[in-house]
Amino acid sequence: MKELLADRDTRLLLGSQWVTQIADGLVQASFANILILEPEGTISRILAVSALTFLPYSVIAPFMGVFVDRWRRRNVLIGTSTARVLLLVALSVVAHLTSGDVPLYVGLLGLLGLGRLYLTTKGAVLPFVLHEKHLLQGNSLSGGGGMIAALVGGVLGIGAIAAVETANTFLVGAGLYASAGSIAARISHTMGHPKRKRESLGGEFLRVWQELVDGMLAIWSRAGARLPLLGVFIVRVAAMVAAITAIIIIKDHFPDSGDRFGRLSASALALGTAGIGAFVGALVAPRLGRRLPEPALMLIGFVMAGAGILTLGGVAEIWAVLSLTFFGGLGGFIAKVAVDSQVQQALPDDYRGRGFAVYDILYNLATVAAAVLLLFSESGSLRAFCAGLGVTILLFALALGHAMKEAGLFVGAQAPTRDG
């Protein structure tokens, strides 16, 4: 960690990212309380929120990576932070004037889109400031710190909800985003590509589409990018199933906010144990990475997440809920940093923005897929459903491990060349 943080630009990039993700956690906790925890109908409500916020963004998300690959990336970091400040200030004003859900859905969609554009840019910038070295350690520090920051922000958001109006928590989030943009502005290099000749709007969209197709072909032609991206979709589904299962149990069994383990306090504890899991993962992943190749590290994360759902999913006890979120955070994080490193190594710099845009699409779709899967548990036993899904995830890990072995991904780090 000392070696990585010795570089000033690395410190500034990670500092901006972590402050941003504290704001993400705080603001999203406010949205979650209003749109999910308070209303009736948990799974169907989660599915509606997921579909209305993630699916529209997933349509436009592929174009984000193309723009990241052509814009000055420092400006993207600053611009997305500034846009979120303006959006939250406007949303705070609207929230004081109306109680409808429509502005909240629109605001959440905008924040998620800007947030993913920021993190897509960060994923493309990180190898630049690390000078292509220490990618696993850098991703572990970035991802682990970011996940913990988001969870800390979520806990702070839950505390703020209990103390002040939601509209005021939006203003706190706006202040944090402004700080993140200010930190990013101090990065010494613009991290941009030479300007291209300006084209007509139609020509620009056509070129974006062509470059997007080219980027997807580049991903598909490299097993070192293709298989990890498939894997991260499945492990994200597992992590979101764990999260939604925890929400269902908390809402059904700990609804009284005045209780010692009421809705808000149980939610805060669940976020906290997920953060502890991520922190443990941040400590463990680099050590395991010195002994194991990244594909093996990814499969370890798979096994942890799948085994957690198999053994703990649907158990209506606070210790089981907290253990489930712990293993979801631990396994999901270990798998994620391994995937980050594999995608960064498998793709040349010109394709990394598009690669992480596809990454973000899969992350979004995994949330919707998890909610769709859990709809099948409404007519039966949640415990039995989770046990069956856990077994399925473990079997998928076995199949994915075989495919990566056949592709030769266990022999060493992937170079940015075509490997079929």
The domain defined by 2-191+201-406 folds into Growth Hormone; Chain: A; (1.20.1250)
Give the Å distances, CA to CA, from 377 to 168, 241, 248, 251.
37, 11, 11, 16
Contact 313, 389 (CB under 8 A): yes
Whole-model pTM?
A: 0.69
- The predicted structure's pLDDT at residue 82: 95
Question: Looking at residue 42, what is its pLDDT?
Answer: 67
Q: Express each pLDDT in 211-234 by its tens digit.
A: 778 878 888 888 888 898 888 888
Within the chain, which residues score under 50 in pLDDT?
A: 201, 259-261, 413-420
Token representation of residue 128: 């630049």
Angstrom distance (rounded) from CA 65 to CA 117: 8
Residue at token pair 């629109």: 106
The CA distance from 386 to 381, in Å, is: 9
Q: At what angle do helices 349-375 and 223-253 cross, to 10 degrees?
A: 40
Evaluate the CA torsion angle 161, 163, 164, 165 in order and state its sign: positive
What pLDDT is recorded for position 45? Answer: 74
Whether the CB-CB separation of 296 and 412 falls below 8 Å is answered with no
| Structure confidence by residue, pLDDT tens digits, 258-274 | 544 466 677 777 877 88
- In order of 182, 250, 324, the CA distances from 378 in angstroms are 46, 16, 20
**How many CB atoms are closer than 10 A to CB 190?**
11
Phi (first) and psi of residue 198, to 5 degrees: -70, 135
Per-residue model confidence (pLDDT) at position 417:
42
Q: Distance (Å, rounded) from C-alpha 286 to C-alpha 235? A: 19
Q: What is the pLDDT of residue 260?
A: 44
Predicted confidence at residue 22, as pLDDT, reads 94
> Of 5, 11, 156, 186, which Cα lies nearest the Cα of 81?
186
Cβ–Cβ contacts within 10 Å for residue 231, how many?
26
Comparing CA positions, the residue from 370, 143, 183 lying closest to residue 275 is 143
45 and 39 in contact (C-beta within 8 Å)? yes
